[in-house]
Amino acid sequence: MGPGGMVDGKEVAMQVKTGDRVVYSKYAGTEVKLDNEEFVILKQNDILAIVK
Protein backbone atom coordinates (compact mmCIF):
# COMPACT_ATOMS: atom_id res chain seq x y z
CA MET A 1 0.00 0.00 0.00
CA GLY A 2 1.51 3.24 -1.14
CA PRO A 3 0.81 6.80 0.01
CA GLY A 4 -1.00 7.83 -3.18
CA GLY A 5 0.44 9.79 -6.05
CA MET A 6 0.15 12.57 -8.57
CA VAL A 7 -2.59 12.73 -11.22
CA ASP A 8 -2.58 15.64 -13.67
CA GLY A 9 -0.26 17.55 -11.36
CA LYS A 10 -2.52 17.13 -8.31
CA GLU A 11 -1.79 14.97 -5.29
CA VAL A 12 -4.29 12.13 -4.85
CA ALA A 13 -4.50 10.35 -1.47
CA MET A 14 -4.97 6.58 -1.29
CA GLN A 15 -8.67 5.76 -0.80
CA VAL A 16 -8.24 2.13 0.33
CA LYS A 17 -6.60 0.74 3.44
CA THR A 18 -4.70 -2.46 4.10
CA GLY A 19 -7.23 -5.23 4.68
CA ASP A 20 -10.04 -3.64 2.62
CA ARG A 21 -11.88 -6.06 0.32
CA VAL A 22 -12.19 -4.62 -3.16
CA VAL A 23 -13.76 -5.39 -6.53
CA TYR A 24 -11.47 -4.73 -9.49
CA SER A 25 -11.46 -5.01 -13.27
CA LYS A 26 -11.05 -8.55 -14.63
CA TYR A 27 -7.73 -7.97 -16.42
CA ALA A 28 -6.32 -5.36 -14.02
CA GLY A 29 -3.27 -5.75 -11.85
CA THR A 30 -0.36 -8.12 -11.57
CA GLU A 31 -0.64 -11.41 -9.71
CA VAL A 32 2.28 -12.33 -7.45
CA LYS A 33 2.92 -15.21 -5.06
CA LEU A 34 4.95 -14.54 -1.92
CA ASP A 35 5.54 -17.12 0.82
CA ASN A 36 2.72 -19.35 -0.56
CA GLU A 37 0.25 -16.44 -0.40
CA GLU A 38 -1.23 -14.86 -3.54
CA PHE A 39 -1.56 -11.09 -4.01
CA VAL A 40 -2.77 -8.79 -6.78
CA ILE A 41 -0.97 -5.48 -7.21
CA LEU A 42 -3.37 -2.83 -8.56
CA LYS A 43 -3.47 0.81 -9.49
CA GLN A 44 -6.06 2.72 -7.47
CA ASN A 45 -8.01 3.61 -10.62
CA ASP A 46 -8.47 -0.13 -11.40
CA ILE A 47 -10.52 -0.57 -8.19
CA LEU A 48 -14.25 -0.49 -8.94
CA ALA A 49 -15.61 -0.74 -5.37
CA ILE A 50 -14.67 -1.25 -1.74
CA VAL A 51 -16.79 -4.03 -0.17
CA LYS A 52 -18.07 -3.20 3.31
Residues 6+ apart with CB under 8 A from 42: 22, 24, 28, 29
Q: Does residue 9 lie in a domain region? A: no
Contact (CB, 8 A) for 8 and 33: no
CA–CA dist 3, 15 (Å, integer): 10
3 part of a folded domain = no
**Residue 24, domain member (yes or no):** yes
Q: Report the predicted TM-score, pTM, of the whole model to 2 decimal places.
A: 0.68
Q: Is residue 27 a part of any domain in this protein?
A: yes
Please give the tally of structural domains in the chain. 1
CA dist list (Å): 44 to 2, 7, 11, 25, 29:
10, 11, 13, 11, 10
pLDDT, one tens digit per residue, over 8-52 is: 888 888 888 888 999 999 999 999 999 999 999 988 889 999 998
Q: Which domain holds residue 32?
A: 17-51
